[in-house]
Structure 1
Amino acid sequence: MKIVIVGSGLAGLSAGYKLCKSNEIVIFEKDAEIGGMAASYCRNFAGKKYFIEKYYHHIFRSDSELLDLIRELGLEGQMLWLKGKNAYFVDGKNYPMNTPGEILKFKPLSFTDLVKLGLLVLRIKLINNTISYDRIKAKDWILDTAGQSVYENFFAPLMKSKFGENAENVSAAWLIGRVKIRSDRGKEGEKLGYLKGGFNSLIEALAREITAYGGKILQNETVTEIVIKDNAVQGVIANGNFIPCEAVISTVEPRVLDILTKGKLGALHATLQSIRYQGTACALIGLDRKLMKDGNYWLNIKANVPFGAVIEHTNFMPFEDYGEHLIYVTSYFQDENNDLWIKKEEEVLDSYLKGLEKMFSDFSRTDIHWAKLFRRMDTAPVYEQGYLEKVLPFSPGPSGLYLAGMFSSTNYPERSMNGSLKAGFEVASFFMKKEENCEVCWLD
């Protein structure tokens, strides 16, 4: 059976990987590089070639499907578990946030507030099902559970930097999912997983498996329509050409899917339009020397700067792997009229660099080897109050049409690489079961 997959992110590639042995797979990718949000930038520096993700990524201990796949693809030898030091920049000062002892020294919160924060985290760890928290706003739940000071001085700046004007609409389910995924900490702090050589190894390994079985991955190819007739998929139109197929797996964001299907998903149309996505503007900068000399990997920020976090990759992975220091400077935005989306790359980079100069007195632009800005409008859904009712099904109705991606149940209430991988696996399993049932019905 010929299956067209729209998008080569982890959901699309993992679905193709599961289906390629018994089907003809064609993946359409609108960008020059495959991988979607997990795509990498290739850099040559001082005779050293390396790959670095355009948008920072790491693996959590709970990412069982991702870890199983890494072993299955023979990449286990590249797997590393490293300490990623975290801090919170408030009022011009870095506060380490790795161990209970360090957190107790977080001066923006009183001792009583710190106890309330600790009890809130403990309470979250005991929550096994977030369904009942979906219709509760995170802000309201924090206020009721830990009080005004904990919300305003700890959570509000973090939520504002991540969700902007939508921060107060985010559900408690998301907050609980977020804290749980980041709560695997020992006495010395959190350890995160990474593939030596970068996640490009994973993306390329999936692509090799697909093409080894005759699948095709077409880059710089944009699908402009998923053709549906008589409630059944007929094929897709890409670059003006009609490509017939028996099934389509779409991984694009909901509003784009609505455009591609020409509104033929009936009752799902309103849901597709109502799922709010946000974009990200992520700068990746190569430096001659360290930015955060205290060894911090991840720095959350409460300050008047145009970004919400600084991630120093080479305070996590060894500097020797790259030969230069690498940092991410990132911010989210909520609409296409935001300056982070409409301004030229050099203007956004300049605003970021001014923010770094404001935060780090010894930072100098002369230390910069290179800087790139990567932007996407379809980073992830905003998990607003009541989002659970909008989670898209793997099969939305028309025969032969399947959906998998950031919007899938596997990525709720908190998205991850593992969640997108699981979405691809589950839609492939759903497809295979449906085909098996059809064959049984035909034999009967």
Structure 2
Amino acid sequence: MKIVIIGSGLAGLSAGYRLCKSNEVTVFEKDPDIGGMAASYCLEQSGKKYFIERYYHHIFRTDSELLALIRELGLEKQMLWLEAKDAYFVDGKNYPMNTPLEILHFSPLSILDLAKLGLLVFRIRLIKDTVPYDQIKAKDWILDTAGKSVYENFFAPLMKSKFGDNAENVSAAWLIGRVKIRSDRGKEGEKLGYMRGGFNSLLEALEGEITANGGEIRTNKEVTELVIKNNAVQGVVVDGEFIACDAVISTAEPAVLDAITGGKLELLHDSLKNIHYQGTACALIGLDRPLMEDGNYWMNIKADVPFGAVIEHTNYMPFEDYGEHLVYVTAYFQDEKSALWTQKEENVLDSYLQGLEKMFPGFSRTKVRWTKLYRRIDTAPVYEQGYLKNVLPFTAGPSGLYLAGMFSSTNYPERSLNGSVKAGFESAELLMKEKGN
């Protein structure tokens, strides 16, 4: 059976991996590199070449499908589980947020507020089913559960940096999912997983398996039309060429899927229009010295700067793996009118460096070796109140069309690498079942 997969992110590659041994698989990727949001830069320092993701990623202990895939591909020896120290920068002061004692010193909240915050987190850990919370706004639920001060002084800045003007519309289900996925904490803080050598190793292994089994991955190839006739997939159009196939798995964003199908997915039309995506402007900076000398890995921010988080990769992974200090500076934006999208790359980077100078008095641009900026307008869905009714199914209606991606049920109420792998697997398994393969 001839199968076309649109997109080479983890969902597309995972689907291709599952299907390639008994089918003719072709993956089309519009970008020059495979990986989608998990794609990497290839950098060199003092003769040492290494890969580092364009956008920071890590693994959680609950990522069962992803961890099983890593084992299956023989990459388990590259897995590390390390402590990742967190902090919250509020009004010019840095607050470590790793141990109960450190959290007790978070002065923007009173002792009573901290108790309410602790009870809220405890309550979240007891929640088994997030479906009832999909229809509730996170803001309203926090206000009802923990009060105004906890919302305004703790959650509101975090949600604003994550979702911008849509922050007050995000569902409580997302908040619960977010807290649950970040709950692997010991006495010293949170433990996260990462692959030594980066996630590029996983992408290359998946690519290798697909091509070794006769499949093909074609980059710089954008699918401009998905041809559907008599309610069945006929093929795709790439570079003006029609390519016939028996089935298509699309990992394209909802707006793109709607466009390439010419609006023919009538049963999904409302959902495709109602899923709102946001963009990301993520800078990666190489430095001569650490930025956060206290060893923090992840810093959330409430300050007058154009970004919402700073992530120092080499305060988590060993410096020796790279030979230089690596820092992500990232912000989300909500539409194509945002300055983070419309400004020239050098202007965005300059604004980020100005923000770092404001936050870190010891930081100097003379210590910056290089900067890179990764921007996408369609990074991820905004999980608004009532989002669940818009989650796209794995089957799209027309025979032979399957869907997998961050819009899938496996990535709600909180997206993850594991959710994308699982989406790819489920779409592939459904295709094989329905096609009798």
TM above 0.5: yes
In the alignment, residue 263 of structure 1 is paired with which amino acid?
G
Question: Is residue 304 from structure 1 mapped to residue 294 from structure 2 by the alignment?
Answer: no
Distance 1:267 1:342 in 2: 34
Counterpart Cα distance in 1 of 2:275 and 2:157: 24
Partner AA of 2:413 in structure 1: P
Structure 1 partner of 2:183: 183
What whole-Å deviation, never above 9, does each CA across 1:289-324 have from its counterpart, x for those lacking one? 000000000000000000000000000000110000
Deviations 1:191-212 (A, max 9, x none): 1000000000000000000000
Match of 1:367 in 2: 367
Provide Cα deviations, 1:390-423, integer angstroms capped at 9, x if missing partner.
Answer: 0001001001100000000000000000000000
2:87–2:98 contact (8 Å) kept in structure 1: yes
For residue 99 of structure 1, report the CA deviation from its aligned partner.
Answer: 1.0
Q: Distance in 1 between matches of 2:263 and 2:197?
A: 43
Distance 1:184 1:178 in 2: 12
Q: Say whether the 8 Å CA contact 2:5–2:25 is kept in structure 1.
A: yes
Identify the residue that residue 5 of structure 2 maps to in structure 1.
5
Cα shift readout 1:81-111 (whole Å, capped 9, x = no counterpart): 0010000001111101111111111000000
Q: How does 1:233-382 map to 2 (within 5 A)?
A: 233-382=233-382
For 2:156, the equivalent position in structure 1 comes to 156
2:403 corresponds to 1:403: yes
Aligned position for 1:168 = 168
Amino acid paired to 2:137: K
Q: In the alignment, is the contact (CA less than 8 A) between 2:267 and 2:397 conserved in 1?
A: no
1:92-107 aligned at under 5 Å gives the runs: 92-107=92-107
How far off its partner does 1:256 sit?
0.7
- Report SS of the residue matched to 1:157: helix
Q: State the secondary structure of the residue aligned to 1:185.
A: coil
Aligned to 2:412: 412
**Alpha-carbon offset, residue 187 of structure 1:** 1.4
- Counterpart Cα distance in 2 of 1:100 and 1:236: 55
CA contact (8 A) 2:86 2:296 kept: yes
Distance, in Å, in 1 between the alignment partners of 2:252 and 2:230 is 23
Q: Which piece of structure 1 moves more, 166-175 or 262-271?
A: 262-271
Q: In 2, distance between residues paired with 1:187 and 1:318? A: 21
**In structure 1, how many angstroms separate the alpha carbons of the residues matched to 2:129 and 2:335?**
32
Match of 2:38 in 1: 38
Aligned partners of 1:346, 1:218: CA distance in 2, in Å?
A: 31
Aligned partner of 1:140 in structure 2 is 140
Q: Give runs of ≥4 in structure 1 deviating > 6 Å.
A: none
Once the two structures are TM-superposed, the CA of residue 186 in structure 1 deviates from its matched residue by: 1.2
Partner AA of 2:150 in structure 1: V
CA distance in 2, matches of 1:311, 1:263: 40
Q: Structure 1 CA distance, aligned partners of 2:386 and 2:269?
A: 17
2:435 counterpart SS class? helix
- d(CA) in 1 for partners of 2:238 and 2:435? 26
- Mapped to 1, the partners of 2:101 and 2:433 lie a distance apart of 51
| Equivalent in the alignment of 1:117 | 117
1:347, 1:233 → 2: CA distance? 44
Matched residue of 1:306: which SS?
A: coil
Q: 1:433 deviation in Å? A: 1.1
* Equivalence for 2:18: 18
Counterpart residue identity of residue 113, structure 1: D
State the distance in 2 between where 1:220 and 1:369 align: 30
Scaled by the length of structure 2, the TM-score of the pair is 0.99
Alignment gaps of 5+ in structure 2: none
d(CA) in 1 for partners of 2:37, 2:12: 12
Partner deviation per Cα, 1:139-170 (whole Å, 9 max, x = no partner): 00000000000000000000000000000000
Q: Unaligned 5+ residue runs, structure 1? A: 440-444
SS of aligned partner of 1:186: coil
CA distance in 1, matches of 2:62, 2:385: 25
SS where residue 81 of structure 1 aligns? strand
Shift of 1:74: 0.4
The residue identity in structure 2 corresponding to 1:316 is: Y
Rounded Cα–Cα distance in structure 2 between residues aligned with 1:232 and 1:396: 11
Between the aligned residues of both structures, percent identity stands at 77
Alpha-carbon offset, residue 274 of structure 1: 1.1
**Which residue in 2 is equivalent to 1:127?**
127
Deviation at 1:267, TM superposition (A): 2.7
Letter in 2 for 1:102: E
- Could you tell me how far apart the structure 1 residues matched to 2:156 and 2:54 are? 27
Take 1:270 and 1:126, find their aligned partners in 2: how far apart are those partners? 34
User: Which one-letter code corresponds to 1:323 in the other structure?
Assistant: G
Whether 1:28 aligns to 2:32 is no
Q: Distance in 2 between matches of 1:267 and 1:413?
A: 23
Structure 1 distance, partners of 2:79, 2:158, is 30
Tell me, in whole angstroms, the C-alpha distance in 1 between the residues paired with 2:281 and 2:417: 19
Match of residue 203 from structure 2: 203
The aligned counterpart of 2:224 is 224
Distance 1:151 1:270 in 2: 32
2:376 & 2:237 partners in 1: Cα distance?
A: 23
Query: How much has 1:188 moved relative to structure 2?
Result: 1.5
Aligned partners of 1:44 and 1:242: how far apart in 2?
40
Displacement after TM superposition at 1:242 (Å): 0.7
1:270 CA drift (Å): 1.8
Amino acid corresponding to residue 148 of structure 1 in structure 2 = K
Partner of 1:48: 48
Q: CA RMSD in A?
A: 0.6
CA distance in 2, matches of 1:349, 1:189: 31
Q: Distance in 2 between matches of 1:67 and 1:232?
A: 35
The equivalent of 1:421 in structure 2 is: 421
Q: In 1, are the aligned partners of 2:406 and 2:420 still within 8 Å (CA)?
A: yes
